[in-house]
Amino acid sequence: MTAHTTYETQGPLATFTFNRPEARNAMTWEMYRALVDACERFDGDADLRVLILRGAGGKAFVAGTDIAQFESFREPDDGLKYEKRIDEVLDRLDRVTKPTIAYVQGVAAGGGCAIALTCDLRVATPESTFGIPIARTLGNCLSGATYSRLVDLAGPGTVKDLLFTGRFVGAAEAHSLGLVTRVTPAEDIERGVRELALEIASNAPLTLRATKEMIRRLAAKRRLAVGEDRDLVEMCYASADFREGVASFLAKRKPRWTGT
């Protein structure tokens, strides 16, 4: 589909691949647009039943948004626009009418972790890790919708633990926390994901669609109204700490936080 993504179909399955292994599949705006396009294409094909998302190279699912794209952020509105854009991508993935599976090898970090957690199911290798380390790296925050998805999956206490510390969790712990559906050895994961996808694809399509949409609607009723997260997003993205976080990340040094 683009220089850094591919979209393939085989029988009832479609596979979208983040294909930027030299950067651990860190997301560019073009890759985000391609993911939305893939969701549209998949939903528009009645012969397809399951969408699989994976990262190329075996070392990462997606290592988050490419941090270089934050260097131009100067105004409070920049963070609001960015989170709105991410919300639109994740919402489109969430609204795919048929089941989605994140096939995770390696790290799923930041925006990549959010993409994986927006999929209906997650299958990971034992070596995979999940985390949103923004408290240690950039000093920004997530949108209300993304926090809500995390709380729906893992509960408020676990989300606070993960976000306050910025730590990564391995696949076994992620499975125990409800973040991962299945853990499969690396040598078996491709076969395991395909078998799971084919098993799902063989079941009644309307039952799958109704189940997915019913759960999505229930979750949506617990989310903030549009704009209710504005003050917190502005506070983080307009801060000196965020500019320091971006600069230190790109310079590969530890950030010096001031709380301003």
Distance CA 222, CA 230 (A): 17
Residue range 5-200 forms a domain whose CATH class is alpha beta
- Alpha helices by DSSP H, listed for 44-139, are 76-94, 111-118
Distance CA 242, CA 255 (A): 10
Domain locations along the chain = 5-200
pLDDT in tens, 8-29: 999 999 999 999 999 999 999 9
pLDDT in tens, 212-260: 999 999 999 988 988 999 999 999 999 999 999 999 999 999 999 999 9
pLDDT in tens, 46-104: 999 999 999 999 999 999 999 988 888 888 799 999 999 999 999 999 999 999 999 99
Cα distances from 19 to residues 82, 179, 251, in angstroms, run 22, 24, 25
